[in-house]
Structure formats: structure tokens, C-alpha cells
A and B are shown apart, each in its own frame.
Chain A
């Protein structure tokens, strides 16, 4: 099932990237979009509260005023409030499915995964509370059904459903409690959202500006086209027979009616428990490799690994024996073994005059000296009939192993940002290959969050360690195409080879001309 979901997301990713470009692709920022929708709901909620009357008799009438008499502002706000919460529900669901399908929920990531489960309950409770406040027939239905659902629990002394017997027994007091809950639960949700991203450095909580602007425009269009309206006012003296239902947030309600409260509790609590223990269940996913190791002898305390670690696993402390210096420290509970830190380390340079290449920080099993010898060995086996290409790929992006040929060498690693820019310089300067191709996850969707972003910045000299100016840029290509772009990457490698061949032929032509000129002269 996971593979099927992943394929589905791969297809969606490609589709959205074509329309939005990878930088604006909403599929790569579902968490940020959820935050964005939350803020829309919060801001519009504050405005709506000004006009909302917190009483049984006044609630529906005040909502009618909002939607009918002040349709041009409060009415639009109400539609934004409703549709943004629904969109948040969908984004959160997609976010959960996506992280599951891409195996981003176990190991160090367990904290974000597990802390996200109560957020689902809080999100649903916030939305249901909102529908309740409108006090129309849908609210009547969910009020009575919710009460019966909770009454099943042995914790209720007085049945909650007794509050909704008929119009005569209805009290404003219970309604005031609901208003309080509709403010309190979303605030708890917000707190939970911040806890959810606590262990992630530089968590993306704002979507791309263009995407945000487009979303607001789309919501405005939708609000004018189909404004959110109330249904008929609630009347507890008349039973609800047929109602319009929000199937995004109120989907458990028909289940409560048909299955009964006990089975619905069992399903929802069981599902939540299953999701909570999912990170520790045996699966066929790859086991996490050992965490990064610091070599104090080669760590100069520059802090580049600290700046690049996507999970705040690196901190600095006073150097073990060099006075006045600092050295990196890795928290094994936070390290995800991506190797981005090794790629950031200035000591990871194959140009260093040392007997054996060492570095300040590295991943056991994928040490920088092993990467170097692997690179040299693979490239030494290539023929020289065609331009030689070194392809570095990541285990979660385009599958590069299949591209190896007589003229193409490929190495796959946890994250391509593990490759220090000095390696590319080294390969080209030592003429081990005519070109270097860097590939990995889709742009904006790095398995380790920031790998391709850091790599881009290192190449464009915005981030240390930089790819030196002397490296001819036409001999280096970066393509973030992801797993679904494997075929495309294969074609681009061939095209790259053809381009390099043209350059070589042009160079040879130039050399011949120079020789001819020299001999004539």
C-alpha cells in the first residue's frame, strides 16, 4: 500500500510542479500550507467573533446577519473561515499520508510523527465546535450525536444528551461553554503545532509567497461563488431527518449513528493508537545507519555542520584539548545519518596534503575517504571513448545505479549533500571525469529536508563550503528530479555527454587550428 501511495504522490508531484514550478509546488509544503490555513482561520475567526452572539437564541440570527447583510466582508470572512479549515483538514491528511509513504516517520522523526496524532483530534474538535456554534440543523445533529457518543464513555455522571432534550430544556450555559471550547481547542492546536516542529531546524511554516497569494485569490473566488451559509435554524422539538453534512470533518457522525458509539470509539482510538506505534513497528524500510562521528583532531570548530544539520543534532562545545577552540558534538538521539554535515565540513577536501583523507565529522560506513576511493575506483574503470561522467545520487531520489555504463560511473548515498564541493573540483581538476552530475530528491522535497537547498547554495557560492570559481560550470550539472525522474535523468546524462563531446571536439578543433597556425607561422 505504501508503494501505491508513493506512486500516487509521485504523479501528483510531477503534475503540480509543472503547473506551479517546484518552488511553489504545494505538495512539497503541505505542513506550511496547514500553518497558513490555520492563520486564515484564526484571523477570520477573530473578526467573526465581533458579530457573533453567544446565545442559543441569537447565534443563528447573528450568523445570518454575517452572511446576508454583511456578505461583502463578514460573509466572505465566514467563507474563508469555513473553507480554510476544510483545506487545512485536507492538507494535514495529505501531509500524514505523504510522510508515511516516504518513510519519514520513524527513527529520529518519531517525535514529529507521534506529536502529530493528537493534533488530528484537536483539529477535528476545533472544526466540529465551529459547526456547533452556528446552531442550525447540522449543529443540532452533531450536538445530539456528539452527546450520545460521549455518553457511552463511563466517565459521564449525567448524560450529556439531556442538555438537548427539547427547546424548553435548552440552556445558554452549555452554549457559552462551547464558545469557550471553540477558542481554547484551536489555541491548544496551535501550541501542539509548535511542539510538532520543535525538533526540526528551520521548519518551514510559511508557504512560498506566490502560492500563498494564489491560494488567497482562489479562496476569494470560491467565497464569492459558493459563500458558506447556515442551514435551517435548529429546533430541538423537531427531529433532524436530512441534512447537508461536511464530509471532511463530520465523517465519523454517520458511523456513530449506524455503528453505535462504542464501535466508533474503538475504530478512532484504535486507529490513533496504531498510528502512534507505527514508527516502532517492524517494516521493510532501511535500518538507520550509525550516527555521525566527530573527529576532534580534524574539527576546527567552524560550525558549518551545525548550520547545515536539518535536525539540530549538532551543537558546539569547548574543544577536547585545543584551548580557545570549539568542536562539534553530535546528539545520537537527534542524528538521522544523512551525512549533510560531512559535506559541509571544510576538512572533507581531497586536496589536503595528508597520507589518508580524514575529516572533522563523518558517517560511519560512508566516510569521506571511502567516498573518495569509491569515486576514484569507479572512474578508473571507465573507458575513454566517450566523455566520462560521474553521477552522484541519493538513495531517496532518482535511481542512479541503473545509469552506470562504460562511460558513466554512479554512486548513491543517503543524501547528495554529503558530497563536499571540493570533490567535484577534485574529479574535474584531476581529469578523472569530463563531467559531474549531481542528482537527488525533487526540488523542495529533500528526504532530509534541506539537502538539495544547501547543495544549490554551495554551488551558487551562497553557503560554505562553496564550489570554487575555477570549476567550469558547464562541466557540472545539478538535477533534482526525484524517484519519478529517474528516466528523465538517464536522458539528461546522455544529453550531458553529448554536450561535453561537442565541447571536446570544439577544443580539439581549436587545438588543431592553433597547431596549424603555429606551423604556418
Chain B
């Protein structure tokens, strides 16, 4: 084959390789979410209440402790924390209801969760309820609020000494 024809053929092959490559490296566009919805993110990071109460160390009751430790410790406190009971209701419909266990081998760490929901834009009534103490019936924390969601808006509900909407 003539050299020029060879190079021309190669140019064509390079084009056949790179043109589709360039195309699929950004097209076709991916439709991830409709325009008429918003995103509600619920992210809670909160330690539940300790389950049980501290008990005094009475002389003679070692509780498996070494004698040296017994001299210093006057009471023994449980470590296990309550799991969180969390509920999200929008316009009367329960979108999320879950028990979030405490982390850690002894369930003595914080409980944390993340969930996101797509919600139609417009006005809504939002209710968030949480129980962080198994000793209490019902919910220990609540949020009842009317919200107005804009298209593609991201609303975050988190918790810091009470529910907050951002």
C-alpha cells in the first residue's frame, strides 16, 4: 500500500477510536432526577441514653474487679446505650421508621444514620420523631414543621440538642 494511503488509513482508525471515546466520556447526559422534586436528607449522629443506672460497690461484692480497683471505684455504671427509634412522616405518610443501634462491641457508642428521600416540590408538613431512651415510652424528641420545597432543593434534617432543618 502506498505510504500516504497507509497514513490516511491510520488517521481514519485513530479517528474511529478517539471520536467515540471523546463522545462517551461525557455524553449522552445522564438524567438522575426529575426537575420537580427536591431531596430531603436525614442525617442523625446522636448517642442514646445509657441503659440502666449506676450501682454502688458494696464491700465484699467484687463484681469481678481486682482488689486494687475495688479500693478506688465506688460505683459501677453500665455502658450500653439505648438504640434510637426514628420516624419520618411527611403529609401523614411514614417515609422512614427504623431502630438505629448504638455502635461499638458493647453498644456503647453513638448511633448514626443517613437516608435521603426525593419529595415532590411544594408545601409539605414534616414530622420527625425520635426516642433515645428505652426507659421512656413514646418519643423524647419531636419536630413538626411546615416546609416549602423548591425544585432540586436539598433540605437537611439533622440533630444537635434537638432536630434542625437546614
Contacts and interface: CB of A to CB of B under 8 A. Distances in A.
Contacts of A159: 43, 112-114
A217 B18 CA distance: 12
B14 A218 contact: yes
A162 B114 CA distance: 7
Given A18-B9, A245-B30, A239 B1 contact: no
B21 A248 contact: yes
A82 B25 CA distance: 9
B32 A243 contact: yes
A324 interface: no
Given A157-B109, A222-B22, A242 B29 contact: yes
Interface stretch (A83-91, A100-108, A268-276, A490-498): A83-91
Interface in B6-21: 6, 9-15, 17-19, 21
B99 interface: no
Contacts of A162: 43, 45, 112, 114
Contacts of A161: 41, 43, 114, 116
Nearest to B13: A19
A90 B11 CA distance: 19
A225 to B, nearest CB: 8
A257 B30 CA distance: 11
A259 interface: no
B24 interface: yes
A222 B103 contact: no
B43 A226 contact: no
Interface in B25-64: 25-27, 29-35, 37-39, 41, 43, 45
Binding site secondary structure of chain B: mixed
Contacts, number: 122
B154 A238 contact: yes
B165 to A, nearest CB: 11
A237 interface: yes
B9 A246 contact: no
B127 interface: no
B156 interface: yes
Given A214-B10, A246-B24, A241 B152 contact: yes
Contacts of B109: 157
B158 interface: yes
B166 A16 contact: no
Interface string A212-245: 0011011101100110100000001111111111
Interface string A190-226: 0000000000000000000000001101110110011
B154 A241 contact: no
Contacts of B29: 242-245
B24 A19 contact: no
B13 A16 contact: yes
Contact of B25 (A83, A221, A241, A243): A83
Contacts of A254: 30, 32
A141 interface: yes
Interface string A136-155: 00000100000010010000
A82 B17 CA distance: 15
B153 interface: yes
B45 A158 contact: yes
Interface in B91-119: 103, 109, 112-114, 116
A166 B22 contact: no
A141 B154 CA distance: 13
Contacts of A321: none
A241 B10 contact: no
Contact of A240 (B24, B32, B45): B32
A351 interface: no
B114 to A, nearest CB: 4
A218 B18 contact: yes
Given A19-B13, A86-B25, A157-B112, A239 B152 contact: yes
Given A239-B153, A254-B30, A247 B25 contact: yes
A87 B21 contact: yes
A228 B25 CA distance: 9
Contacts of A18: 1, 9
A243 B18 CA distance: 22
Interface string A54-83: 000000000000000000000000000011
A67 to B, nearest CB: 13
Nearest to A228: B25
Given A158-B45, A165-B158, A226-B22, A19 B9 contact: yes
A459 B164 CA distance: 82
B108 to A, nearest CB: 13
Interface of A: 15-16, 18-21, 24, 82-83, 86-87, 90, 141, 148, 151, 157-159, 161-162, 165-166, 168-169, 214-215, 217-219, 221-222, 225-226, 228, 236-248, 253-254, 257
13 contacts: A15-B13, A16-B13, A19-B10, A19-B13, A148-B116, A169-B156, A219-B18, A238-B154, A239-B153, A240-B33, A241-B33, A246-B26, A248-B24
Interface of B: 1, 6, 9-15, 17-19, 21-22, 24-27, 29-35, 37-39, 41, 43, 45, 103, 109, 112-114, 116, 152-154, 156, 158, 166
- Which 6 A-B pairs give the minimum distances between C-beta atoms? A159-B114, A19-B9, A218-B14, A244-B26, A245-B30, A239-B39
